Amino acid sequence: MTKISALRARNLNIPLDRVTSLSSRRVNERHYGVVELMGDDGHRGIGFCYVGSAGGGLFTEAVEGLLAPLLIGEDPYRVEGLWAAMYQEALLQGRAGTVLRAISALDNAIWDRNARAANLPLYKYLGAYTDRVPAYASGGYYIEGKTPAALAEEMASYVAAGYTAVKMKIGKLDVAAEEARIAAVRERIGPDIHLMLDANNAWSDLPTALRFARMYQKYDPYFIEEPFSPDDIGNHARLAAATSVPIATGEIEVGRWRFAELMARSGAIILQTDACVCGGITEFRRIAATAASLGITVLPHWFHDLHAHLVASTPNARYVEFFPDDQVLNFRRVVGTQIEVHQGHIEMSQRPGVGFDFNAAALDRYATAPWAQTGRASELAA
């Protein structure tokens, strides 16, 4: 029987080239966690997650001090059992946030290892639905000096590259200023391009959100994303009932139970479930299956290198969120083999597993500490 023989974790701090703003916060650096896991059959898997703009060391501690001892010596094909053991062990330390993100990274590494051992790309190991998935271009951030015309030019450049769907940030400015931004974009890209709007928890009360939603409505947005805090499911549901604009959320939501409540209360008709946040591929598949039974669409958040595989193996998933450069999703700087988009679509790679390994030199450049290792560390160092 194959056993997990070694595991190591590391946290990264990757500065942004330019300070970038969302509706309610500014970001000048991003902290990530990465893991590598080895079976005694010689096959390796990798996992990763975004921790936030600080606190990356929490990830390594969660892996090394809490979760790794549960995995060493275990059968990597016992995926459900290992997930349950990690979740149970972490009940007191964190059923959300960094600890669950560490579980997600480890779960994803196990799936990746198993797919590589089978010599299959991850999406085929999971059960392929398609070999070609549509991508939308994600951008439109607030940067000092960026005018509505410059924003419109950015969105138009994605359309010129072949994307039929684009996303921009909203919610930082007043209604008039926000309308100037979206009006410029819609005029520039035309009526047939799907225009997605990301509020990043911009509003805290329903009347304010309604003012903005009713203004946006005439520009035919594909959805408004995260209008409220993820915990405010009630206002998500009330806004969804009060506007014809589809509501999307779930990028920092966790676990099948929270997603079940969100769906039961009609808080969103588009889920942006992130397998690096929600509990890993194991939990993502449960959430997506429940959504499918209710006619709800899944558009995963971030990390297109992983989520392309999940969209390609999930019948009710529609788009991969794709970042055309490494300025915001700067994790791309440690990805050894980059996904390419042609005419708004990703042709799925046939390389085993997730289809890439970490760039070792980039990891060393951005790591804040050496690898934290458990098990036969020499196997991973080879």
Of the residues 43, 169, 194, 304, only one is catalytic, namely 169
Residue 305 to residue 103: CA distance in whole angstroms: 19
Residue 370 gets which letter from DSSP? P
Known catalytic residue: 169?
yes
Angstrom CA distances, 61 to 4, 119, 222, stand at 19, 32, 40
Structural contact between residues 170 and 142, judged by C-beta atoms closer than 8 angstroms: no
Of the residues 301, 304, 307, 309, only one is catalytic, namely 301
Strand partners, 165: 194
Residue 27 to residue 274: CA distance in whole angstroms: 20
Provide CB contacts within 8 A for 314, sequence distance 6+: 129, 285, 288, 298
Residue 178 to residue 209: CA distance in whole angstroms: 13
Two tokens, residue 80: 């459900």
Residue 351 to residue 337: CA distance in whole angstroms: 10
Known catalytic residue: 146?
no
Residue by residue, DSSP assigns 143-210 as: -TT--HHHHHHHHHHHHHTT-SEEEEE-SSS-HHHHHHHHHHHHHHH-TTSEEEEE-SS--SSHHHHH
The burial of 98, by beta-carbon neighbours within 10 Å (0-12 exposed, 13-18 middle, 19 or more buried), is given as buried
Catalytic residues: 169, 301
